[in-house]
Amino acid sequence: MATTRTAGRRTGFLPSPLRQIPRVLTAALLLRLFFVSRAGAALDTLLTQAGQTPGFAAAVLRFETGRFSAAPPDLLTMLAEPSALLSVRALAPRAAPNGADIPPDALPPDAPEPTPPTANPTPRAAAAPETPPVSPAASAAPETPESPAPSSHIREITLRPLGADGYDTAQGVYVKNESGLSVDMEAILAQTPSLPLVRGKPQVLIVHTHGSEAYCPDPQNIYTPSDVERTEDRRYNVVRVGKEIADALTARGLSVLHDGEIYDFPSYTGSYGRSLEAVTKARAEHPSLLVILDIHRDSIVTADGVTCKTSVTVAGETVAQLMLVVGTDGAGLTHPNWKQNLSLAARLQKAADARAPGLMRPINLRRERFNQHAAPGALLLEVGSSGNTLPEALAAARRFADVLGDYLIEQLESDNN
């Protein structure tokens, strides 16, 4: 922030003790990043409260610019009032992503701005109706990077529908339709996806538009963050989850290419355009690539700042919940075959639900296309949320790979008969 200097001294400031307040707050905010213990949780609460009032924020700014003529009244009251104005979340250096799935200059003039498929919905308690991701400022893309949450700030939830209200549903498959388009799920399930896979040639491409998305650190998986809830270390972000799926499919005899590039760092904006270039190049080199998985992780934060982990118990093991996101042409971008993508998602969802009830959240059908026009079997998969640990995400990834592997092998066998 610019200040006026005269003869080496800043002018228009209050006595020295008051000038130290912004510096103390800045130092405290930095300390917040290094605490994950209960003491850190208490510090988190105090710092959040400290910036929760526009009046307090304005006071700090006036101190810094020397425009406060006297100490603000009821300063302690301001400190105790809640907001996130000065929280690390509000001060995150990365701009909110625009979620566009192609370069902006390729958008039709009248097309609405695409938005990401994940956001910060207010989740319900376990076994409550599914709360769909809504577009905030931020997995499939996500969310404005959130503040890292100590374990005491994480709430475990299981998201599943309790009825058909608010969903397009058939044969036990639930779709949260946010596309604005009419969908007949019975007809979708009756449709057979056309995936003429070729033995011995690449069949599946795994990519990560937001590859830096990471999980809640646990004692065995502690990483150096490149941003809040993100890391470039491929051992701990969603690239590691993609590798788990790739290895599992390869072990089943399928031919898989795994693109481990990180397209959302250092710039989040434009990540879909960059990943689309990679997908287009891979398909040009390997026309046999028909199934494309874009692996992400979700982020769910309640209105009171609690980070949620979406999990379910399967065969005695706690695993992250999964969500398939299917794009459409509802935003005005060309995507004539989106119903085939939805048909594939519905079949995988039905098979997964039969094996592990609760593993899958309802399918999220969106207006944006998320690069899914690039292949007949293109899907976006959200593996857990930022409150989950990496082991929980890997466990869910293996179970999804089993379902997908069985389906693709069945397609190979039927095509060769």
Please choose, from the candidates 155, 162, 97, 105, the residue with its C-alpha nearest in 3D space to the C-alpha of residue 296: 97
Burial class of residue 362 (count of CB atoms within 10 Å of its CB; 0-12, 13-18, 19+): buried
- What integer is the mean pLDDT of 178-194? 95
Please choose, from the candidates 282, 299, 298, the residue with its C-alpha nearest in 3D space to the C-alpha of residue 371: 282
The whole-number pLDDT of residue 228 equals 84
The whole-number pLDDT of residue 240 equals 98
Residue 311 confidence (pLDDT) above 60: yes
pLDDT digits (tens, 9 = 90+) for 42-61: 445 445 555 544 454 554 44
- Banded pLDDT at 262 (limits 50, 70, 90): very high
Q: Which of 19-23, 230-234, 380-384 has the lowest mean pLDDT?
A: 19-23
The whole-number pLDDT of residue 182 equals 96
Token pair recorded at residue 335: 């995507």
Share of the chain above pLDDT 70, in %: 63
Burial class of residue 79 (count of CB atoms within 10 Å of its CB; 0-12, 13-18, 19+): middle
Of 182 and 16, which is predicted with more confidence?
182
- Banded pLDDT at 413 (limits 50, 70, 90): confident
Of 13 and 260, which is predicted with more confidence?
260
Residue 298 confidence (pLDDT) above 50: yes
Of 57 and 367, which is predicted with more confidence?
367
- Banded pLDDT at 174 (limits 50, 70, 90): very high
| Rounded-to-integer distance, Cα 365 and Cα 369, Å | 10
Please choose, from the candidates 164, 92, 160, 152, the residue with its C-alpha nearest in 3D space to the C-alpha of residue 305: 152
The whole-number pLDDT of residue 31 equals 55
- How many other C-beta atoms can be found within 10 angstroms of the C-beta atom of residue 283? 17
* H helix runs in 200-269, sequence order: 238-251
The whole-number pLDDT of residue 416 equals 65
Q: Could you tell me which residues are beta bridge partners of residue 331?
A: none
pLDDT digits (tens, 9 = 90+) for 198-208: 999 999 999 99
Stated pTM of the model: 0.68
- Banded pLDDT at 39 (limits 50, 70, 90): very low
pLDDT digits (tens, 9 = 90+) for 115-171: 444 433 333 333 333 433 333 323 454 333 344 445 558 999 999 998 999 999 999
Q: Which of 149-163, 280-294, 345-359 has the lowest mean pLDDT?
A: 149-163
- What integer is the mean pLDDT of 264-283? 96
- What integer is the mean pLDDT of 96-125? 36
The whole-number pLDDT of residue 283 equals 98
Token pair recorded at residue 28: 């405290």
- How many other C-beta atoms can be found within 10 angstroms of the C-beta atom of residue 159? 27
The whole-number pLDDT of residue 227 equals 86
| Rounded-to-integer distance, Cα 322 and Cα 118, Å | 13
Domains and CATH numbers, the chain: 5-80 (no CATH), 104-415 (3.40.630.40)
Instruction: Return all residues near 190 (Cβ < 8 A) that are at least 6 apart.
Output: none
